[in-house]
Structure 1
Amino acid sequence: MRWKLKTDVIAEAVVHLQEVLKVDKIIAQLLVQRGISTYNEAKDFFRPSLDALHDPFLMKDMDKSIVRIKEAVQNNEKILIYGDYDVDGTTSVAMLASFFKGFYPNVDTYIPDRYSEGYGVSYQGIDYASQNDVKLIISIDCGIKSVDEIAYAQELDIDFIVCDHHLPGEILPQAKAVLDPKRSDCNYPFKELCGCGVGFKLIQAYSISQQRDIKGLVQYLDLVATAIVADVVPMTGENRIMAYYGLEVINKTPRPGLRALLSSYDQSSFTISDIVFKIAPKINAAGRLEHGKFAVELLSTSDYTEAIKLAKYIMDINSERKHIDQQITEQALQMIVDNKEVFNKSTVIYNPTWHKGVIGIVASRLIETYYRPTIVFTESGEYLAASARSVKNFDVYEAIKECSEYLIQFGGHKYAAGLTLYKENYTAFKEKFEEVVSRTLDERDMIPELVIDAEVDFSDLTPKVIRILRQFEPFGPDNEMPLFISNNIYDTGGKRLIGKNKEHMYLYVKQRGNEEQSFPVVAFRFGKYFEELNNRRFFNFVYSIEDSEWKGKVKTQLVMKDMQLV
């Protein structure tokens, strides 16, 4: 990896924070790097407050949406909550349905089938609404580009409220209300909400209209936190506040579905990282291999016995998903070597038999080996469907947009996108995409970059510093877990290989010149350096500081990200 040490820190601001907060220089430096330079900003960062959430009525069309929902409730109209099949979509549907059913029973839910309907609002879904006497559809995490579909719903006398967070197209759908902070005419102060976050602003607005306190909505923040993490939106502003309180709910009073998913882990508390690796993939698996409705059922049920059954079913699906994506990844890696595509600036591959539900995961896996923009295609009826993933600093969505002449449709954002095309256009698209990437991708961005927050000596890592570092959570984009570099490190002699295939390493290290202080280090995928670290071989390494829990005991360890032998 390329190591890049952050150096753009204003020294005066660091000194000021050290004085007013009475903290070590390293803490003040990390805060300044995150745009925090005053006592009050630091207070807001370390003590997120629900009172700091914005007035939801600042969002364009929020007043219209509340009027229409109240009208539906007054007239006993059937409301359909319609969402995407991923984590953001299913948590959103579960949240809105649970909230409205709390006082109004005439509510139904709908998740489109990934394979027969595809992403977003479908004609099939609108037909379902019409056949079931639905008068109002609230779409969540989708709908902003469903202009034709929503026009079709109007013809069937069905109104729409769109709750979305994706970039709108040139034309907005003709809905009763369109809630999307990314609308060019929306002055809502925070633009980076996920779909579930927009949904939370809707129920917050409804509660305000009924003179209800926001404290009654905290119970839904476990779902919002899960969506924020899974959708990889910035962990700043409202997202950080909602994730902070959502984590509290997950750890203290989780809904039965999340409690069931976490019941197999011997832990007393869970972090954002646990949501990333232990919750989100399981919820996603339902929509990838079976149907997203199972995730909604799990996240909506109030019966823990039922939640345990649904969780087991979804965990079984996830196990199958792991097996399938491992098989396909192996096939894809071999295909890249056979076709000598490792010499391209991009990776675009296709196999008609690959499972559509896992090609996004496979694209991410390929980037781990060949670090370049990657698109994985499979057959989907008469079309080819694909998932795209990107490398840091490269906008894959814009690159795909330059190739739109060959596409039926596409959508997504800077680092992930989906697209479909006719089979006969595959080769032309592939060649054009490679041409675009070759022209626009910086050579340096083909090597993964580690952005390091600070160079520290082990003596800087006092118990107080480590305790304050924990309060930087929850971590995510724009508030990443801090990475440090320390030099002249050596193993004290107790290192061992760990893991099923002994590919990882666990060691205790000290720093030359500081013989009193040692730290445990876990080094995933660094087992190959085991022999080279004999005889006090010195090395420099980049690491994060994380807590590990085992059989009820929590200990602090350094997690190696990269190393250089000295």
Structure 2
Amino acid sequence: MPKKRWEIKNKSKTADILEILLENRGIKTKKEKEWFLNPTHPGGLSLPSVGLSRKAMQMAVDRIAEAIKRNEKIVVYGDYDADGVCATAILWEILDSLGADVLPYIPDRFNDGYGLSGKSVEKLKAEVEDLKLIITVDNGIVAYNGVDAAKKLGVDVIISDHHQASGKLPSAYSIIHTTQTSGAGVAWFFAKEISRKLKNDAQIGKLELVAIGVIADQLPLVGVNRSLVKYGLEELNTITRLGLRKLLMVSGLLEKKIGTYEVGFMIAPRINAPGRMASGMDALRLLCTRNPKRAEDLALTLNKLNKERQDTVEAAVSFMEGNLPTGLESVIVMADANYHEGVIGLIAGRVVEKLNRPAIVLSMRSEIAKGSARSVPGFNIIEAIRAQSELIIEGGGHEMAAGFSIEIKNIAEFSQKINEYATPLLGSEVLERKLMIDCELGFSQVNQKVYNTLAQLEPYGVGNPAPVFATRNVKIVSQRLVGKLNNHLKMVLEHDSTKVEAMMFNCPDKSDAKAASVAYRMSENTWNGNTNIELILKDIKYE
């Protein structure tokens, strides 16, 4: 287990625990605390407050109203990941409810690639007779060629996207863009304005889809995203949407409380799976179907594809681990035909976990390689990739994750150049493994009352992690390895004359030590009708 430096944010022994946690998250004023603990419903947020232009929104809504009046053909052009699929469902359903002649389209990862391209526009124009308007969701902010191709064919393009722009903007009819939320979040505000102005009804629901999109894209759960996810999870826990209910059923989650963990690790991967392994359209069909039998069949299909995805990832991880570089570069670049294009982002994430360095994994199954990148906090991976613009064909993404394509002949030079760019920026402060700890506690404070206090900070996620505490000089009462592979450590610990059960996952070793310092988060465990607070260990330092 890699060593981590513990960084304790607050060393106060007397301050109120909620006040400590809020201060650690940069929430200090009375107004900030009130908003964080009781965020405004997304329906009450203005467009400028989330970074959206009223003028661009008005132009887009007016163009849609004109298209509906003229019965023009409209295509909602989405993306094959969970955020893009949810965004497509949100906008398509609103337009369909208004009587628009609208088709949703999820591009094929392997044939269409990411984003609106000239090739995909020409394909749509050939397939959709009299196509007049394309609306992108979760893509488009760098679709220069796609927008230009559409113009030549007499098709207007409205872009709605949240990805990082690259200098100039495409010459689209209107651009609905903010980086404050996800593609589904942008689509939701867009759909709300469409409904408000064309139906005189701003109550559109669909926040369950936004919550899935935001969590799946691993965006910080602060500001507008905290509001979207908090209220979206409330809708998800009382969901009536047929497809999602069936998906919860096959995931073993029906009638259970759904939080960010369940979305991020159980629901979103299943929605992502078709886009990784086959066609993302099946995920969209699941979200939008009103047929119970169809919903059940599609949920089973997504579940099967997710299992195939898991098997493919494990095989690729095994190959990756056998081919890790002996000398560590600043940015790890790995390219091979053995990497399945649908899971290269997941493999890059595993490399980052293992080596704690930005990683790029490329699938070389044709002359054009497809790459996916993951980063570490403090290093903007999309800026690093775009700095090599003369070597790549196209690319897009965020500070922590990106995708691009590149000719195979340019990969070696790309690897060299991106490392020359990154090395001065990746000092020991960025690359050192750190464990951020909110404060130290005694086990007398590990109780239901404190746990209920912590729950006020939910939903947890990127930007608002579950509180982590440390306790020193803990007695190890007992410990044993559990799980099918004996790779989890179950312990009974004692401190302050208080015994607490603890679990450390993926820890295949145990020590003969009698005492330790532990870092942990609290978890509520219910078994046979009894509820107790246990510790989920993040790190252990034997004494």
- Which bracket does the TM-score occupy, shorter chain normalised? over 0.9
Select 2:62's aligned residue among 67, 72, 77. 67
Q: Partners of 2:34 and 2:47 in 1: how far apart?
A: 24
User: Identity of counterpart residues, as a percentage?
Assistant: 32
Select 1:193's aligned residue among 181, 187, 205. 181
1:253-272 equivalence runs, <5 A: 253-264=239-250, 265=252, 268-272=256-260
| Corresponding residue of 1:166 | 163
| Corresponding residue of 2:512 | 532
TM-superposed CA distance for 1:409, in Å, is: 2.2
* Cα 1:69–1:353 shift into 2, 3 Å: same
Contact residue 10 and residue 438 of structure 2 kept, 8 A: no
Most deviating of 434-443 and 381-390 = 434-443
| Corresponding residue of 2:493 | 509
Q: Partners of 2:39 and 2:133 in 1: how far apart?
A: 36
Q: Partners of 1:470 and 1:57 in 2: how far apart?
A: 30
1:520 is paired with a residue whose SS is strand
Select 1:241's aligned residue among 224, 227, 237. 227
Aligned residue pairs total 533
**Per-residue Cα deviation, 1:380-416 (whole angstroms, up to 9, x for no partner):** 4321221111122222223323333322222222221
TM-superposed CA distance for 1:345, in Å, is: 3.2
| Corresponding residue of 2:536 | 559
TM-superposed CA distance for 1:436, in Å, is: 3.0
**Per-residue Cα deviation, 1:122-170 (whole angstroms, up to 9, x for no partner):** 2343234323122111100111111221121112111111101112222
Select 2:39's aligned residue among 48, 55, 58. 48
* Cα 1:437–1:306 shift into 2, 3 Å: same
Q: Partners of 1:157 and 1:559 in 2: how far apart?
A: 58
Q: Partners of 2:527 and 2:243 in 1: how far apart?
A: 24
| Corresponding residue of 1:155 | 152
| Corresponding residue of 1:130 | 125
Most deviating of 497-506 and 47-56 = 47-56
| Corresponding residue of 1:366 | 351
1:385-400 equivalence runs, <5 A: 385-400=370-385
Amino acid at match of 1:248: E
1:90 is paired with a residue whose SS is helix
* Cα 1:315–1:553 shift into 2, 3 Å: farther
Please tell me the root mean square deviation across aligned C-alpha atoms, in Å. 2.3
Q: Partners of 1:76 and 1:211 in 2: how far apart?
A: 17
Unaligned regions of 5+ residues in structure 1, if any?
16-23, 182-190
1:44 is paired with a residue whose SS is helix
2:207 is paired with a residue whose SS is helix
TM-superposed CA distance for 1:328, in Å, is: 1.1
Contact residue 490 and residue 509 of structure 1 kept, 8 A: yes
Q: Partners of 1:51 and 1:334 in 2: how far apart?
A: 47
| Corresponding residue of 1:3 | 5
Q: Partners of 1:552 and 1:382 in 2: how far apart?
A: 59
| Corresponding residue of 1:186 | none
| Corresponding residue of 1:187 | none
Most deviating of 380-389 and 156-165 = 380-389
Q: Partners of 2:292 and 2:42 in 1: how far apart?
A: 32
**Per-residue Cα deviation, 1:514-543 (whole angstroms, up to 9, x for no partner):** 11x2222111122302x424xxx1111111
Select 1:458's aligned residue among 439, 443, 446. 443
1:217 is paired with a residue whose SS is coil
**Per-residue Cα deviation, 1:68-118 (whole angstroms, up to 9, x for no partner):** 111111111122111111111111001111222223152101111111111
Amino acid at match of 1:260: K
**Per-residue Cα deviation, 1:486-513 (whole angstroms, up to 9, x for no partner):** 11112333x33211110101122221xx
1:412-491 equivalence runs, <5 A: 412-491=397-476
1:129 is paired with a residue whose SS is helix
TM-superposed CA distance for 1:308, in Å, is: 1.4
Q: Partners of 2:376 and 2:37 in 1: how far apart?
A: 31
Amino acid at match of 1:138: I
Q: Partners of 2:272 and 2:95 in 1: how far apart?
A: 24
**Per-residue Cα deviation, 1:263-316 (whole angstroms, up to 9, x for no partner):** 131552111111010011111111011011111111111223211110111111
1:168 is paired with a residue whose SS is coil
Contact residue 476 and residue 516 of structure 2 kept, 8 A: no
Contact residue 456 and residue 484 of structure 1 kept, 8 A: yes
* Cα 1:201–1:52 shift into 2, 3 Å: closer
**Per-residue Cα deviation, 1:193-215 (whole angstroms, up to 9, x for no partner):** 1111111111111232246454x
| Corresponding residue of 2:21 | 30
Amino acid at match of 1:505: L
* Cα 1:38–1:431 shift into 2, 3 Å: closer
Contact residue 351 and residue 379 of structure 1 kept, 8 A: yes
Kindly indicate whether residue 305 of structure 2 is the aligned counterpart of residue 317 of structure 1. yes
Q: Partners of 2:291 and 2:512 in 1: how far apart?
A: 54
**Per-residue Cα deviation, 1:395-451 (whole angstroms, up to 9, x for no partner):** 222332333332222222222122222222222222223333333211243332111
TM-superposed CA distance for 1:317, in Å, is: 0.8
**Per-residue Cα deviation, 1:17-63 (whole angstroms, up to 9, x for no partner):** xxxxxxx7111111122233344433332223326742237722011
TM-superposed CA distance for 1:552, in Å, is: 7.3
**Per-residue Cα deviation, 1:322-358 (whole angstroms, up to 9, x for no partner):** 111111111111112xx524x4333212212321111
Contact residue 440 and residue 469 of structure 2 kept, 8 A: yes
Kindly indicate whether residue 77 of structure 2 is the aligned counterpart of residue 82 of structure 1. yes
Amino acid at match of 2:256: S
* Cα 1:353–1:523 shift into 2, 3 Å: closer
Contact residue 78 and residue 106 of structure 1 kept, 8 A: yes
TM-superposed CA distance for 1:545, in Å, is: 1.4
Contact residue 147 and residue 171 of structure 1 kept, 8 A: no
* Cα 1:240–1:479 shift into 2, 3 Å: same
Contact residue 346 and residue 434 of structure 1 kept, 8 A: yes
Kindly indicate whether residue 320 of structure 2 is the aligned counterpart of residue 332 of structure 1. yes
TM-superposed CA distance for 1:180, in Å, is: 0.6
Amino acid at match of 1:49: T
TM-superposed CA distance for 1:236, in Å, is: 1.2
1:391 is paired with a residue whose SS is coil
Contact residue 150 and residue 160 of structure 1 kept, 8 A: yes
Q: Partners of 2:118 and 2:192 in 1: how far apart?
A: 30
Q: Partners of 2:346 and 2:16 in 1: how far apart?
A: 40
Q: Partners of 2:529 and 2:68 in 1: how far apart?
A: 48
Amino acid at match of 2:244: L
1:335 is paired with a residue whose SS is coil
| Corresponding residue of 1:184 | none
Contact residue 329 and residue 419 of structure 2 kept, 8 A: yes
Contact residue 95 and residue 300 of structure 1 kept, 8 A: no
- TM-score, structure 1 length as denominator? 0.89
1:87-126 equivalence runs, <5 A: 87-126=82-121
Contact residue 112 and residue 122 of structure 1 kept, 8 A: no
